[in-house]
Amino acid sequence: MQSNEAPVSMEVEAVPSEPSSAAAALPPKPIFEPLKAHEMSDGRVQFRKVSVPPHRYSPLKKMKIDIRMNLKGRKVELKTRADTPDVSNLQKCSDFVQAFMLGFDVIDAIALLRMDELYVESFEIKDVKTLRGEHLSRAIGRLSGKGGKTKFAIENATKTRIVIADTKIHILGSFANIKVARDSLCSLILGSPAGKVYSKLRAVTARLAERF
Question: What are 190-209's pLDDT values in tens digits?
Answer: 888 888 888 888 888 787 77
**End of a domain among 98, 116, 134?**
116
Asked if residue 99 belongs to a domain, the reply is yes
**pLDDT of 16 over the 90 cut:** no
Provide mean pLDDT across the span 101-107. Answer: 86
**End of a domain among 89, 116, 143?**
116
Q: What are the angstrom distances between the C-alpha of 75 and each of 35, 51, 54? A: 31, 4, 11
Range of the domain at 65: 45-116
Cα(71)–Cα(93) distance, integer angstroms: 19
Helix locations, 18-148, DSSP H: 21-25, 37-40, 57-61, 88-102, 106-114, 125-128, 134-144
Higher-pLDDT residue of 9 and 162 is 162
Pair 189, 204 in one domain: yes
Asked if residue 64 belongs to a domain, the reply is yes
- Highest mean pLDDT among 45-49, 90-94, 105-109 belongs to 105-109
Average pLDDT of the chain is 77
Q: What is the pLDDT of residue 172?
A: 93
Average the pLDDT over each of 45-49, 56-60, 68-72 and give the range with the smallest value.
Answer: 56-60
pTM: 0.65
Asked if residue 193 belongs to a domain, the reply is yes
| DSSP H/E element including 47 | strand 47-51
Provide mean pLDDT across the span 55-77. Answer: 65
